[in-house]
Chain A
Amino acid sequence: EVQLVESGGGLVQPGGSLRLSCAASGFTFNNYWMHWVRQAPGKGLVWVSRIKSDGTTTAYAGSVKGRFTISRDNAKNTLYLQMNSLRAEDTAVYYCARGDCSGTSCQFDPWGQGTLVTVSS
């Protein structure tokens, strides 16, 4: 069974840091791009970041560029999101998602269950 399990969320003060992890199983992790998507309480989905299958290429939403760093350890089948200089507006459930892509299609499937990050003093 293809599965993604996030961890590392919690309460952090403004300006603080947190590292999220996403453990993948049931598929060949190093064949897939991976993404982070977040959802603020009561709000919609927002794409945050992506990383290429071999870790050589990354991209970020403007709202997190320069503060967040996506990385992966293919030997451990794990995706990471290092979040620095956290702000109240970063409060959200963070989902990791597999980029299921072929030549003609690309979509997020599956998704993890999410981990809640709360930035508050």
Chain B
Amino acid sequence: SQTIHQWPATLVQPVGSPLSLECTVEGTSNPNLYWYRQAAGRGLQLLFYSVGIGQISSEVPQNLSASRPQDRQFILSSKKLLLSDSGFYLCAWSVLHNYGYTFGSGTRLTVV
């Protein structure tokens, strides 16, 4: 069966520090992968998506970047975190987009 792993679950980082959030998918090949951010009390904002290794599309200009070094691995990074980067980050995957996404359990990031 397909599963998605996202870690860490919670993270507290100082302003200006780097960030690396990892997401891996099991049980499927060549998935589409997505990073979303959910600010407190708000909806989901699409940050990045990838349809294949090394292929990254950015939806919102920001302090973050994404990489896909392997077929089932998707990494969200920052060189220097800002206070505004705080939020709940969700990774998701799909194979057939018309069937919707399967989401990871999320990472709560607090930048202090």
Decide whether A and B assemble into one complex.
Answer: no
Interface residues of A (CB under 8 A from B): none
